[in-house]
Structure 1
Amino acid sequence: MRTILCLALACSALLAQRSAVDEGALRAHLAFLADDVLEGRGTGQRGGELAVRYLETQLQVLGLQPANGSSYRQAVRLAGIRLDPAVSTLAFEGPRQVSVPALGTDLVMGAASAEPVLAVDAPLVFVGHGIAAGGRDDYKGLDVRGKVLVMLVGDRKGEAPMPLCCQPENYQGRWTYKFEEARRRGAAGALLVHTDASAGYGWTVVRNSWSGERFQRAGSGQAGAMQGWITEAFALRLFAAAGQDFRALAAGADNRAFRPVSLPIRARGTLRSAVRSLEQWNVAGLLPGTDPALRAECVIYSAHWDHFGTGPDGAIYHGAVDNASGCAAVLALAEALAARPLPRSVLFLFPCGEEQGLLGSSAYVASPLRPLAQTRLVINLESLNVVGPTRDIGLLGSDDPATRALCSRAAAASGLVITPAKPDPAGLCFRSDHFPFMQAGVPALSPGFSLDGGWDYLGDKAAAQAKAADFMNHYHRPSDRYHADWNLAGLMQQVRFALELGRLAGSER
């Protein structure tokens, strides 16, 4: 009996050691990364530089190797574009009236490339969802060169339900796809009609995202074109001025038989912007594998370090949940794994520019520090649970059988069940840094993405879900701040799941 007890105690000690993630250290990282001193970790801002320096210092303290030769940094060349609203104008001239939207209230806009001055003079055409993929063609052969496209956000396909899983072919609902398709077709611009339901967030999020400097990878812009969003309320007025019923046209756009509708309206104006070239950084450290036969392969843990920095009004967008929580988790995982390396190598990656359209992760995929073909799994940590413990773990990302089998085993070992798949009308799966890896064919997941919602919380489930839903009142706003009284039990569940999943992916032959 004594021998059995000793073995049981030894197994318990081993299990604790295998799950050794330091919550105190994680909380300290989270508090610091969301502190005022980092000024919201803005792309191209001083706070972003401080965040990069902090992350590379922490990787060095843990004894991880620089992942890019002798450097923990991977350069990402960007172009910055800041619209000057005081000297920029846009009006819509129709047969009945001229509609002048209020910038920020009715419309946000910007040049699609780094151009100081952009003249706009083009007719409008409504192209429904603007999708040309998967057997659907909303353009029906229409030549849209020289036209400004008005598009709906989302990917409703009439007879088909919203997708349950995160397949790259369902990407067409994302706003990034809309702008990409407009560029491919040589349009003079694209205006997306915002609704809370189709975008997955309120107009305030759009306005805040477009109110300061916007960024794109250098050389990726579309010269001579504009981009922007309009509110549904303004779309109703604009289409009425063209003699059209916006809601009727939008409903008809759900049908695959939809055909574009030219509007008797021209967009005219001038966009004046300050532009610059700059260099930002992905931060990456490497933990070499212990098995000579496997160490050439790797598992990646990632979390974007950027948020929106300091706004034009001086407000700090702290980005505590989004995504100081993910960065803190990856640092805690790095500490745990550095003490017990895996047979395969592990890369700890902190991409830049996620809030600007997954810029850093896309740049990494284009120039990987470890071969993509030898990347076993990407585990991306994004906007984690600061509400409380749950019975389940949600998964956004690859659904291939081998990856999901690993996830099932990791969930069981962590005392969790996997949340059943459900519709993704807000396109959450395409809004985080795992997605560029998926597009490149690398298995990738964002486990426990809190914006996914619907968690099976322990205790007072209704109260916890209400608290979680309240985060949307702080998402991409200055009020996404760290609170010392946060219950991190749910976040620690997510981190332990990620640790177990990484151990499985990093060990099995």
Structure 2
Amino acid sequence: MKRLFLSTLLLSVSCVAASAQTATPTFDVKRISRDIQTLSSDAFEGRAPATAGEEKSIAYIAEQMKAAGLQPAGDKGSWYQDVPLLKADIVGTPALSLKTGATTTALTQGNEIAVRAALNGQKSVAIANAPLVFVGYGVRAPERQWDDFKGVDLRGKIMVVLINDPDFEGGDGRFGGTAMTYYGRWTYKYEEAARQGAAGILIVHESAPASYGWATVKNSNTNTMFDIVRSDPTASHPPLEGWIQRDLAVQLFQQSGLDFEKAKAAARRADFRPMPLKSTLDARYAVDSQVITSRNVAGVLPGTRHPDETVIYSAHWDHLGVGLPDAKGDRIYNGALDNASGVAALLELARAYGAGPKPDRSVLFLAVTAEEKGLLGSEYYAANPLRPLATTAGVINMDGPFAAARTRDFSISGNAKLDLLTMLTEAAGTQGRRYAPDPRPEAGSFYRSDHFPFAKRGVPAVSYDAGQDLVVGGTARGKQLADAYTRDKYHQPADEYDPNWDTGSVASDMAILYAVGRRLADRPVWPNWSPDSEFRATRDATAAQRKAR
């Protein structure tokens, strides 16, 4: 393991001292299972923000935090931090069609296409005869000498783009290889479409570069949309945002005399030029948009010696709520693994801290809203922190933190290099578990979990992953089960609690999460990013606000 940075020696010495002071508590696996079962039950209606499911969810979490001995850490002495959000729904069924020559083809929402409710403040979308233009990966990255647009005027037009970034197919190039950069995320592509002044954007879905199937796209985009409240939402969102199936894209290219695969290959080169398609899009639908208030839940165990310094455990409480029915007619997206399991881990850690020795630093337990809509609850907290980010020692996020069975390894989302990873590696090593790099860096997981809003502001932050090398069955079996979950349950009603789950990894994962948080809370250390990390300079800029001891 060669992830040793400038502060590793200090951290290693601290770990020995800390472990001598604080024994690992016993975690109640049955209680964790009960929390998962409760939060993912049909009674909680899929835990969507701004629904009755939210009210039940946040009340339950606050109740459990209070019982664990935490103190309210939200607004005005409450358990909650208000998170104002723009909420938008498509009214009725959108009218969508493509015209090629004299032929008009109607498109069915959720089948060939999935468009989102407009988040630019409009009350309706009315697009007629908008030309489609293929702009490769839709990336403009001056620092990499890359521009997919080449000055083309996209006003009044629909961008058609590929998901992920230009290195995904070939494995090497200006974007660092197969590990997705932020340019590969759909959020970036929507933002770039707004910057280009486009009337809309359609992302071509392919399962491998997206890292999930069409069911995930459909279920995530055809229900209620949320965004943070922006002073100028049109700067971040074009009128139309959506995805199309690969088969439809192939057809569009054929009708324009183009080969889809050859066009994809051309898009991997810096000399790519936009390709007009011989089709236009009509889209008409009303949008019900309003500003609502959702809530993060925050409980704190105040530190005894340095209460103004903070360690954060986080997990998102929300899921997709009630949406389109699956093949069985089930419309409740229960989100048992994603992410009732993370909240259950958060609550059990709160109980362990509440019952154990009081920490030197304050420990904040933060359950955030609207992760499924773009990390909005954590983004709001990071922009409006309840406790200063400069004196937040680290963030440990939990999003599906347990493995399908006991593992020999662990991982984190993405391939970031930071001292928190060294600490996790050492804690896991006491159990004979090793660090394994993210097996799917091309999925862009680093940008898809609630640690990211903290990371981009310099706070050392990780999202824990329990690994895939199963004690019984090895990596092959672990990958098989992970792939099956992504295919059959992720963002689908089938993500439900199962009393027959193998909980063999739970106690081990909880012990690692506790050990690292406890080490941060009890020792006078300030972890950092590696010297070559893009987040290091931002963290270093606030160094004067942290006490050296």
**TM-score relative to the length of structure 2:** 0.84
Q: Within 5 Å, which residues of 2 pair with 1:161-310?
A: 170-219=181-230, 221-222=233-234, 225-291=239-305, 294-310=306-322
1:32 aligns with 2:38: yes
Instruction: Select 1:468's aligned residue among 475, 482, 485.
Output: 482
Structure 1 stretch displaced more, 498-507 or 327-336:
498-507
1:102 aligns with 2:108: yes
Question: CA–CA distance in 1 between the matches of 2:176 and 2:37?
Answer: 36
Q: Within 5 Å, which residues of 2 pair with 1:43-192?
A: 43-68=49-74, 69-86=76-93, 88-95=94-101, 97-110=103-116, 111-121=118-128, 122-133=130-141, 134-135=143-144, 136-157=146-167, 159-160=172-173, 170-192=181-203
Deviation at 1:397, TM superposition (A): 5.1
**2:198 and 2:238 in contact (8 A); partners too:** no
Question: CA–CA distance in 2 between the matches of 1:149 and 1:491?
Answer: 45
1:293-330 CA distances to partner (integer Å, 9 max, x unpaired)? Answer: x3211111000000111225562111000000000001
Q: 1:165 to 1:503 in 2, by over 3 A?
A: farther
Q: CA RMSD in A?
A: 2.4
Deviation at 1:166, TM superposition (A): 7.6
**2:334 and 2:495 in contact (8 A); partners too:** yes
Structure 1 stretch displaced more, 282-291 or 335-344:
335-344
**1:397 and 1:438 in contact (8 A); partners too:** no
Question: CA–CA distance in 2 between the matches of 1:460 and 1:228?
Answer: 39
1:103-132 CA distances to partner (integer Å, 9 max, x unpaired)? Answer: 211001132434332211322211111111
Q: 1:15 to 1:163 in 2, by over 3 A?
A: farther
Question: CA–CA distance in 1 between the matches of 2:521 and 2:174?
Answer: 36
1:245-300 CA distances to partner (integer Å, 9 max, x unpaired)? Answer: 22211121111221222223322231222333311001111111121xx3211111
Instruction: Select 2:511's aligned residue among 482, 485, 496.
Output: 496
Question: CA–CA distance in 2 between the matches of 1:51 and 1:500?
Answer: 28
Partner in structure 2 of residue 3 of structure 1: none
Question: CA–CA distance in 1 between the matches of 2:291 and 2:421?
Answer: 41
Q: 1:475 to 1:382 in 2, by over 3 A?
A: same
Q: 1:70 to 1:112 in 2, by over 3 A?
A: closer
Deviation at 1:20, TM superposition (A): 2.8
Question: CA–CA distance in 2 between the matches of 1:191 and 1:457?
Answer: 39
**1:398 and 1:444 in contact (8 A); partners too:** no
Question: CA–CA distance in 1 between the matches of 2:292 and 2:119?
Answer: 17
Question: CA–CA distance in 1 between the matches of 2:294 and 2:418?
Answer: 36
1:318-346 CA distances to partner (integer Å, 9 max, x unpaired)? Answer: 10000000000010011111222321111
Partner in structure 2 of residue 326 of structure 1: 342
Structure 1 stretch displaced more, 63-72 or 190-199:
63-72
Partner in structure 2 of residue 506 of structure 1: 521
1:186-219 CA distances to partner (integer Å, 9 max, x unpaired)? Answer: 2211110000011111101111112221212223
1:484 corresponds to which letter in structure 2?
P
1:345 aligns with 2:359: no
**1:48 and 1:309 in contact (8 A); partners too:** no
Instruction: Select 1:445's aligned residue among 440, 462, 467.
Output: 462
1:58-115 CA distances to partner (integer Å, 9 max, x unpaired)? Answer: 11112211112311111111122222343x2122223363333222110011324343
Q: 1:43 to 1:231 in 2, by over 3 A?
A: same
Q: 1:129 to 1:498 in 2, by over 3 A?
A: same
1:488 corresponds to which letter in structure 2?
T
Q: 1:493 to 1:126 in 2, by over 3 A?
A: same
**TM-score relative to the length of structure 1:** 0.90
Partner in structure 2 of residue 412 of structure 1: 429
Q: 1:224 to 1:137 in 2, by over 3 A?
A: closer
**1:330 and 1:348 in contact (8 A); partners too:** yes
Deviation at 1:439, TM superposition (A): 1.3
Q: 1:112 to 1:99 in 2, by over 3 A?
A: farther
User: What is the count of residue pairs matched by the alignment?
Assistant: 489
Partner in structure 1 of residue 398 of structure 2: 381
